[in-house]
């Protein structure tokens, strides 16, 4: 199958400006295409990753993708998907985020020499206000701009002129890339349809109605239960390991619902149809083995963080499954128990019952004593059954952590001050 057939099978196409024309263009020759992201933060999360994975797929089919970092558009703010005005960042913060995102993109996609990273600040910074209004603003009809979903959804609450003109800036990007790099296709999320079509319209006005340019959007990703994809109780799942540890990242994918796992294998891995169909059969026949989830976690974690991160995550998982937390390093404790109930304690020895109460494991000392004597409490992987036991925080994990478990699964973490 060609790239478009592959994307259709993966369920990765929502809207196209000219499906027949794009299919013919791709059949005739390799094309250049692009997708952009604004530096509103210093890391992408997994939701941002979706369109860029599609760029990678195009590259593997021999096409030439461009990744655009929005140094210019990021200083303005895309109104897409927002109900109110975005708080503008300082240019210093925008630049910091530009550098961080560029580094992240190079790490993720730099291994493919056919992917080029560009920054729209480079071609926007020297355009004067008068040139912008005369050369580009004149070509946009306000009535048409108001009809775009991204603007229409904001009219009741109000939208600033700054955010209103965002679609012109994004259209200018497409025109620049078409004119200077012969980029013919822009890809984005479903919320970018209005901005993308503004770009194709601008090119047709400036280069002629026969200019072969196209837009394609990706469906909104939702989970089987109808909730938003990519969110956990702790917030977004980031690609930066300082924000979301590689173990948490791996676990996010491993814990996916059987109803979602095949969809995510299609979106986020480069496994082919036969491989994914075989995993789909295993989900039906032996769901308790969670083979599809394991493959998903391995594939995505290796792509984003490397093979060593997969090995590390699986090692931590095996240790926790067996309850051998003593084998964890101090750094691994921080990863494995990020998100469990956590309290601070002093670095002096503390009675086990007092420790349980301080961590909120139980609500009363009577219950705490019962849990200890009944063998329900382990500290740093060792069962404690004597209520007179003193716990010395300095004994494990470089004196930084104490791990308390009640029963088989309920963990509590003490950070030592």
User: What are 234-258's pLDDT values in tens digits?
Assistant: 678 999 998 998 999 999 999 999 9
Mark which of 191, 218, 245 sits at the end of a domain: 218
Q: Does residue 189 have a pLDDT over 80?
A: yes
Mark which of 266, 287, 322 sits at the end of a domain: 322
* Statement to judge: residues 262 and 200 lie in one domain: no
Could you tell me the pLDDT band of residue 31, with boundaries at 50, 70 and 90?
A: very high
* Statement to judge: residues 206 and 265 lie in one domain: no
Counting residues of the chain whose pLDDT is more than 90, the rounded percentage is: 65
- Report the mean per-residue pLDDT for the chain: 91
In terms of Cα–Cα distance, which of 289, 298, 241, 287 is closest to 260? 287
Q: Does residue 22 have a pLDDT over 70?
A: yes
Q: Is the residue at 224 inside a domain?
A: no
Q: Does residue 27 have a pLDDT over 90?
A: yes
Alpha-carbon gap, residue 142 to 151, rounded angstroms: 11
Alpha-carbon gap, residue 334 to 400, rounded angstroms: 10
Q: Is the residue at 14 inside a domain?
A: yes
Q: Does residue 306 have a pLDDT over 80?
A: yes
- What pLDDT score was predicted for residue 368? 92
- CATH code of the domain containing 365: 3.10.290.10
Q: Does residue 82 have a pLDDT over 80?
A: no
- CATH code of the domain containing 243: 1.10.240.10
**Tokens read off for 181:** 């790099």
User: What are 44-72's pLDDT values in tens digits?
Assistant: 999 889 999 999 999 999 999 999 999 99
In terms of Cα–Cα distance, which of 402, 399, 361, 360 is closest to 381? 402
Q: Is 68 exposed, middle or buried (0-12, 13-18, 19+ CB in 10 A)?
A: buried
* Statement to judge: residues 98 and 241 lie in one domain: no
Q: Is the residue at 198 inside a domain?
A: yes
**DSSP reduced 3-state for 307:** helix
**Total residue count of the chain as it appears in this document:** 417
The reply, when asked if residue 34 is annotated as ligand binding, is: yes
- What pLDDT score was predicted for residue 232? 66
Q: Does residue 227 have a pLDDT over 90?
A: no
- CATH code of the domain containing 25: 3.40.50.620
The reply, when asked if residue 231 is annotated as ligand binding, is: yes
- Nearby residues of 86 by Cβ (< 8 Å), 6 or more positions away: 40, 77, 78, 79, 163
- What pLDDT score was predicted for residue 154? 77
Q: Is the residue at 236 inside a domain?
A: yes
Q: Is the residue at 195 inside a domain?
A: yes
Q: Does residue 160 have a pLDDT over 80?
A: yes
End-to-end CA, the chain: 59
**Tokens read off for 233:** 């109780």
The reply, when asked if residue 247 is annotated as ligand binding, is: no
* Statement to judge: residues 262 and 376 lie in one domain: no
* Statement to judge: residues 82 and 189 lie in one domain: yes
- Nearby residues of 100 by Cβ (< 8 Å), 6 or more positions away: 39, 42, 43
Alpha-carbon gap, residue 307 to 10, rounded angstroms: 25
Rounded average pLDDT over 198-209: 95
Q: pTM for the complete prediction?
A: 0.85
Could you tell me the pLDDT band of residue 277, with boundaries at 50, 70 and 90?
A: very high
Cα 197 to Cα 191, 204, 213: the distances in Å are 12, 11, 10
Torsion of CA 381, 387, 390, 392, to 10 degrees: 30
Rounded average pLDDT over 13-25: 95
Could you tell me the pLDDT band of residue 112, with boundaries at 50, 70 and 90?
A: low
More confident residue, 241 or 228: 241
Identify the DSSP state of 30. Answer: -
- What pLDDT score was predicted for residue 234? 65
* Statement to judge: residues 160 and 264 lie in one domain: no
Give the count of domains, the chain.
3
- What pLDDT score was predicted for residue 155? 79
* Statement to judge: residues 155 and 8 lie in one domain: yes
**Tokens read off for 385:** 């059954």
Rounded average pLDDT over 290-314: 95
- Nearby residues of 21 by Cβ (< 8 Å), 6 or more positions away: 212, 214
Q: Is the residue at 147 inside a domain?
A: yes
* Statement to judge: residues 143 and 55 lie in one domain: yes
* Statement to judge: residues 177 and 289 lie in one domain: no
* Statement to judge: residues 235 and 214 lie in one domain: no
Burial 255-284 (b: 16+ CB within 10 A, else e): ebeeebbbbbbbbbbebeeeebeebeeebe
Q: Is the residue at 333 inside a domain?
A: no
Q: Is the residue at 328 inside a domain?
A: no
* Statement to judge: residues 111 and 85 lie in one domain: yes
The reply, when asked if residue 166 is annotated as ligand binding, is: yes
Mark which of 185, 218, 251 sits at the end of a domain: 218
Backbone phi and psi for residue 383, each to the nearest 5 degrees, phi listed first: -70, 135
* Statement to judge: residues 186 and 238 lie in one domain: no
User: Residue 349 belongs to what domain range?
Assistant: 342-416
More confident residue, 344 or 80: 344
Q: Does residue 81 have a pLDDT over 70?
A: no
């Amino acid at each position: 199958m060609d790239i478009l057939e592959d994307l259709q099978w993966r369920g990765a196409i929502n809207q196209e400006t000219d499906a027949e024309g794009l299919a013919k263009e791709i059949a005739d020759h390799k094309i250049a295409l692009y997708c952009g992201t604004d530096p509103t933060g210093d890391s992408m999360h997994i939701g941002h990753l979706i369109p860029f994975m599609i760029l990678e797929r195009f590259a593997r089919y021999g096409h030439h993708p461009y990744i655009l970092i929005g140094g210019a558009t990021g200083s303005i703010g895309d109104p897409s998907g927002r109900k109110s005005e975005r708080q503008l960042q300082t240019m210093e913060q925008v630049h910091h985020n530009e550098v961080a995102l560029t580094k992240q993109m190079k790490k993720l996609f730099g291994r493919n020499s056919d992917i080029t990273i560009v920054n729209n600040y480079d071609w926007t910074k020297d355009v004067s206000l008068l040139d912008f209004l005369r050369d580009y603003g004149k070509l946009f009809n306000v009535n048409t701009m108001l009809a775009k979903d991204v603007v229409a959804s904001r009219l009741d609450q109000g939208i600033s002129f700054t955010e209103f003109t965002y679609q012109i800036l994004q259209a200018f990007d497409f025109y620049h890339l078409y004119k200077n790099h012969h980029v013919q296709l822009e890809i984005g999320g479903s919320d970018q349809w209005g901005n993308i079509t503004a770009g194709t319209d601008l090119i047709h006005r400036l280069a002629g109605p026969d200019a072969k340019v196209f837009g394609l959007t990706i469906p909104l990703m939702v989970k089987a239960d109808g909730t938003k994809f990519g969110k956990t109780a702790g917030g977004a799942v980031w690609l930066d390991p300082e924000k979301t540890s590689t173990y948490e990242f791996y676990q996010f994918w491993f814990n996916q619902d059987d109803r979602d796992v095949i969809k995510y294998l299609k979106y986020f891995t480069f496994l082919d149809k036969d491989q994914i169909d075989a995993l789909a059969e295993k989900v039906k026949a032996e769901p308790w083995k969670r083979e599809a989830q394991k493959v998903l976690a391995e594939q995505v974690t290796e792509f984003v963080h490397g093979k060593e991160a997969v090995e590390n995550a699986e090692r931590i998982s095996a240790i926790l499954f067996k309850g051998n937390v003593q084998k964890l390093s101090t750094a691994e404790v921080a990863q494995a128990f990020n998100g469990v109930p956590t309290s601070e304690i002093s670095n002096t020895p503390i009675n086990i019952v007092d420790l349980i109460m301080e961590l909120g494991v139980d609500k009363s000392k009577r219950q705490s004593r019962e849990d200890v004597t009944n063998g329900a409490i382990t500290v740093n992987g060792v069962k404690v059954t004597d209520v007179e036991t003193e716990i010395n925080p300095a004994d494990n994990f470089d004196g930084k952590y104490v791990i308390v478990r009640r029963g088989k699964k309920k963990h509590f973490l003490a950070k030592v001050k």
